[in-house]
Amino acid sequence: MGSTLGRRLPVMADVAKEAGVSHQTVSRVLNDHPNVRSETRTRVLEAIDKLGYRRNLVARALVTKHSRTLGVVSFDTTLYGPASTVYGIEQAARAAGYFVSIVSLKSIDRAGVRDALDYLADQGVDGVVVVAPQRSAAQALADLPLGKPTVAVEGGQAGGVSVVCVDQVAGGRLATEHLLSLGHETVWHVSGPFDWLEAEGRVAGWRSALKDAGREAPQPLAGDWSPRSGYEAGRSLASMKNVTAVFVANDQMALGVLRAFTEQGVRVPEEVSVVGFDDIPESEFFSPPLTTIRQDFDAVGRHSIEVLVRQLEGGPQERERLVVPPRFVTRLSTARASS
């Protein structure tokens, strides 16, 4: 019994001794090298099993310079959109054999993004996905010297990095065209905060659809994505005479709008039609169930990992831009214009 009976975890050398081979052969088995006799391989595998050996990935990372860890930087993962995106990213990364380290920022300014990136770089991640829905974040990303392969999600034309995003403009058009097709003279808009690229895209889609139809675009009301801001916008809209159709930039604000209308006795969809954006799980059960534009966050997460892994494993190649189309979901909050 030469073994120290300490509870020290077994290392490669222990396995080697057990199997009667050199530690390098154990390494070869673990890394699926071709030139190992199958009988030897079996013996090593048995020793590994017997000892309950698990390879030390930290030591491995030190020599290979790859940690098989990906970093994710996101803004407020409490929100449904970011949470879903990060979830998709995490699932896809794990499926691709990568660990995921997450930094969830409270405010996503230049310094915040830089700190997060430094932090992840220190940790030794192989690559980074930055969920950068705000202009400032995208800008920061464009400015920063990026040491690692990076993919931006919703990052606009973010500098030299690859981007995966939902086609917000198309979504805005979809919502607006639907309302126009129901015979509404024009469509009002409750937008997200102006420094969000998504908000900007939806506004652009809304405007262009109105323009194509030869309609005047009313002044949009700006919200901050929260139900409360939607509620406030809803109160304003309810007090106006000629509002018959509203496109709200996300479902949470749409909920606030619906609430304000209900309070003011404005009936939806009889008097005013409302379209949201996102298709959160709750939307189907709003009163009335909300017609909305669905974003496939899962696909966005998956694609961002695909792009990143391609960059990681295929060496440096030109940057990509992947656009995920939104989908129109019709429910009961929209109806043909009366009169």
Q: Which residues bind its own copies (CB under 8 A)?
A: 54-59, 61-62, 67, 69, 76-78, 80, 83-84, 86-87, 90-91, 94, 99-104, 106, 118-119, 121-124, 226-228, 230-231, 252, 255-256, 258-259, 262, 281-282, 284-287, 289
In the bound complex, what is the minimum distance in angstroms from residue 158's beta carbon to its own copies? 24
Q: Which partner in its own copies, DNA, none is near 231 (CB below 5 to 8 A by kind)?
A: its own copies
Q: Which residues contact 309 (CB under 8 A, 6 or more apart)?
A: 96, 98, 127
Q: Which partner in DNA, its own copies, none is near 284 (CB below 5 to 8 A by kind)?
A: its own copies
Q: How far apart are CA 144 and CA 77, in angstroms?
A: 23
Q: How far apart are CA 235 and CA 266, in angstroms?
A: 10
Among 15-23, 85-93, 232-240, 325-333, the segment contacting DNA (CB under 7 A): 15-23
Closer to its own copies at the Cβ: 34 or 52? 52
Closer to its own copies at the Cβ: 8 or 37? 8
The answer to whether 239 contacts DNA (rule: CB under 7 A) is: no
In the bound complex, what is the minimum distance in angstroms from residue 182's beta carbon to its own copies? 23
DSSP 128-168: EEEE--BHHHHHHHHHS---S-EEEES-SS-TTSEEEEE-H
In the bound complex, what is the minimum distance in angstroms from residue 215's beta carbon to its own copies? 30
In the bound complex, what is the minimum distance in angstroms from residue 307's beta carbon to DNA? 25
Query: Residues 21 to 60: which contact DNA by CB under 7 A?
Result: 21-25, 27-28, 30-31, 34-37, 39-40, 55-56, 59-60
The answer to whether 11 contacts DNA (rule: CB under 7 A) is: yes
Q: Which partner in DNA, its own copies, none is near 328 (CB below 5 to 8 A by kind)?
A: none
Q: How far apart are CA 173 and CA 116, in angstroms?
A: 35
Closer to DNA at the Cβ: 20 or 325? 20
Q: What x/- string results for residues 61 through 100 when contact with DNA is judged by CB under 7 A?
A: -xxx------------------------------------
Indicate the burial class of 241 (C-beta count within 10 angstroms; 0-12, 13-18, 19 or more).
exposed
Q: Which partner in DNA, its own copies, none is near 256 (CB below 5 to 8 A by kind)?
A: its own copies
H helical segments located in 145-275? 168-181, 197-212, 227-238, 251-264
Q: Which partner in DNA, its own copies, none is near 36 (CB below 5 to 8 A by kind)?
A: DNA
**Count of chain residues binding DNA (CB under 7 A):** 28
* Cis, peptide link before residue 269, omega less than 30° from 0: yes
Indicate the burial class of 140 (C-beta count within 10 angstroms; 0-12, 13-18, 19 or more).
buried
The answer to whether 123 contacts DNA (rule: CB under 7 A) is: no
Are the beta carbons of 126 and 312 closer than 8 angstroms?
yes
CA distances from 157 to 81, 151, 162 (A): 20, 12, 9
Radius of gyration (Cα) for the chain, nearest Å? 26
In the bound complex, what is the minimum distance in angstroms from residue 274's beta carbon to its own copies? 13
Count helices and strands in the chain by DSSP H and E runs:
12, 12
Q: How far apart are CA 82 and CA 66, in angstroms?
A: 27
Q: Which of 202, 194, 193 is nearest to 169 (CA)?
A: 202
Given the rule CB under 7 A, which residues bind DNA?
8-9, 11-13, 20-25, 27-28, 30-31, 34-37, 39-40, 55-56, 59-60, 62-64
